[in-house]
Amino acid sequence: MRRTAIAGIRGDHPLYPVGEMLHFPDGSTAALGVAAGRAVLAADLSASEGWIAVDQPRARAVLDYGIHSLISAPLQARGVVLGSVDFWRKDKGPFEPEELSVAEELAARAGVAIDNARRFTREHTMAVTLQRSLLPRSLPTHSALEVAHRYLPAQPGVGGDWYDIIPLPGARVALVVGDVVGHGLHAAATMGRLRTAVHNFSALDLSPDELLAHLDALVSRLDAEGDSDVEISGATCLYAIYDPVTGRCTLSRAGHPGPALVLPDGTVTYPEISGSPPLGINEGLPVETTDLVLPEGSRLVLFTDGLVERRSRDIDAGLEVLRATLARPGDLGPEATCQSVLNALLTDRPTDDVALLVARTRLMDPSRVADWDVPGDPTALSRIRAEAARVLNGWGLADATYTTELIVSELVTNAIRYGSPPIKLRLLHDDDTLICEVADGSSTAPHVRQAAFTDEGGRGLFIIARLAHRWGTRYTARGKVIWAEQSLGTEVPHDTLNGEALLDQWTDEEW
């Protein structure tokens, strides 16, 4: 064992110091106590051969100091030995049997207290480790937003606040802030489940109201299954999608505080965001959305209630402090805004978790956007393809022309053949990504299928999947958008663009 603490009336004792490793051979007082599971009394140390055998020079120094009696009691809890406590006596007579009982009771209580502290520390460490692993270590950089964030855990434990930035197709980006009720390991685990669910739902490119409706149904189902010791219902979430092409931000919230908006001129507002009850208790009510048009350079401040609500201050007072802080003169960036807000609202350690996300908006340069209205006549395809090639040359992307023409041909042809008017084509040049989008008025979902040898069609989406870095579909109020992204930083493998490789999708048996 290793000595962890020592205390007494005098500090010049010859006992082993803190940190010293102690070895107890069989027959020593401490070894007898641990083996028996109870306190052991050595009334006369000078006659205790087992104790003297542990360290004869040290034993002689102890006896010369005047220590003559010892009680050694094991520290144990739940059948596990955690250590041992020794009581030494110098001035009075030897320990009595009554004192042995008192020492045994003290050791039993201390063992339970130490075990509780050990279990709490272990659970807290696990919760902190879990939460840190579930929260994003760094947020992805995105051309649409300049972002900064802060996360401060509460003092008593670890909670379920989280935040996220999720890149979406079409150069858009989703901002997420959420809060799970409670603290500790269960709250951190629940937060991880909800954060993963939001990521999975966002991969479907759902609108904010649809995503929160799915998340609400998931929470209700998890609670009904009863696979957790703690209910998930009551968690809150705010989900927003920002489009840098239009400057439009679409938001929905489930029981979560709405964001603060700082306009470029310094005006601070709390936009009216349509809300619904917290997750799991919505009872099938529709989730509403709110659209905001954000000027370039606007700052959107998303937060959890731990930032503005405290025992000594209600939420309205906290919101006014936040408003006054954000209204201070100076064009602060997201990092400086985060620090300024925390300095103003958190004068001491928070009693609840705090998540803060500040995003400053950017608009895509209109010269990097090109769109066309597509007639329902297939003969117009060659003209649109040629115009798209001229746009790519103007962007300095001549190397991507061949691949883009193939993608445009397949998407536009499918829209004309299977979709409904109006049909629109849009090209976006977003940093190192080239995005091709074709929108039409039909909500029919396309899918990749394995075409038979005798089929004349059915290979278009397969070719797009080979040529594009990724592709997909998102649905709008007026139909759908099929998109394909090319990563300009990496080249498409040569065999993908090889004519024979494409012709391999057909065989001579077709003719």
The pLDDT of residue 289? 94
299 and 173 fall within a common domain: yes
Per the structure, how many domains does the chain have?
A: 3
96 and 149 fall within a common domain: no
**Domain at 56, CATH number:** 3.30.450.40
Within a 13 Å sphere around the CA of 213, how many CA atoms are in the beta-carbon half?
A: 11
- How far apart CA 226 and CA 220 sit, in angstroms, is 10
Q: Which residues contact 396 (CB under 8 A, 6 or more apart)?
A: none
297: exposed, middle or buried (Cβ count in 10 Å: 0-12, 13-18, 19+): middle
Q: Is 468 helix (H, G, I), strand (E, B) or coil?
A: coil
Could you write out the three-class secondary structure of 151-198? EECCCCCCECCEEEEEECCCCCEEEEEEECCCECHHHHHHHHHHHHHH
The pLDDT of residue 38? 87
Question: Does the residue 154 lie in any domain?
Answer: yes
- How far apart CA 444 and CA 475 sit, in angstroms, is 10
143 and 280 fall within a common domain: yes
CA dist 204 to 201, 242, 256, 474, Å?
A: 5, 16, 23, 8
Whether residue 361 contacts residue 298, with contact meaning beta carbons closer than 8 Å, is answered with yes
Domain ranges, residue 96? 29-128
As a whole number of angstroms, the longest Cα–Cα distance in the chain is 112
The pLDDT of residue 508? 37
Q: How many helices (H) and strands (E) does the chain have?
A: 13, 19
- Count the Cβ atoms, other than its own, within 10 Å of residue 205: 20
65 and 184 fall within a common domain: no
Question: Does the residue 205 lie in any domain?
Answer: yes
- How far apart CA 374 and CA 173 sit, in angstroms, is 27
Point out the domain boundary residue: 334, 361, 388.
Answer: 361
196 and 296 fall within a common domain: yes
451 and 372 fall within a common domain: yes
**Domain at 378, CATH number:** 3.30.565.10
Radius of gyration for the alpha carbons in the chain, expressed in angstroms and rounded? 34
DSSP string, 422-462: -EEEEEEEETTEEEEEEEES--PPP------TT-SS--HHH
Question: Does the residue 20 lie in any domain?
Answer: no
The pLDDT of residue 301? 97
216 and 344 fall within a common domain: yes
Whether residue 277 contacts residue 254, with contact meaning beta carbons closer than 8 Å, is answered with yes
Question: Does the residue 63 lie in any domain?
Answer: yes
Point out the domain boundary residue: 305, 337, 361.
Answer: 361
Question: Does the residue 22 lie in any domain?
Answer: no
143 and 286 fall within a common domain: yes
Find, among 181, 220, 225, the residue nearest to 197 by Cα.
220
The pLDDT of residue 507? 38
Q: What angle do CA 118, 121, 126 make, to 5 degrees?
A: 125
180 and 163 fall within a common domain: yes
56 and 165 fall within a common domain: no
- How far apart CA 198 and CA 237 sit, in angstroms, is 10
394 and 326 fall within a common domain: no
181, two tokens: 């009720």
The pLDDT of residue 509? 36
Distance of alpha carbon 357 from the chain centroid:
12
Q: What angle do CA 297, 301, 303 make, to 5 degrees?
A: 165
Q: pTM higher than 0.95, yes or no?
A: no
- Count the Cβ atoms, other than its own, within 10 Å of residue 317: 13
Low-confidence residues of the chain: pLDDT under 70: 9, 27, 50, 131, 133-134, 136-138, 155-159, 226-231, 447-460, 489-511
The pLDDT of residue 403? 93
Cross-strand bridge partners of residue 222? none
Structural element, H or E, at residue 136: none
The pLDDT of residue 174? 97
Give residue 126's identity as a one-letter amino acid code.
Answer: M
Whether residue 257 contacts residue 304, with contact meaning beta carbons closer than 8 Å, is answered with yes
300 and 415 fall within a common domain: no
Point out the domain boundary residue: 338, 361, 384.
Answer: 361
**Domain at 336, CATH number:** 3.60.40.10
The pLDDT of residue 227? 57
- How far apart CA 303 and CA 150 sit, in angstroms, is 10
- How far apart CA 236 and CA 230 sit, in angstroms, is 16
- How far apart CA 501 and CA 506 sit, in angstroms, is 10
Q: Which residues contact 246 (CB under 8 A, 6 or more apart)?
A: 293
Question: Does the residue 147 lie in any domain?
Answer: yes
Question: Does the residue 345 lie in any domain?
Answer: yes
Strands 248-254 and 275-276: parallel
The residue to which tokens 């329902």 are assigned: 376
Question: Does the residue 291 lie in any domain?
Answer: yes
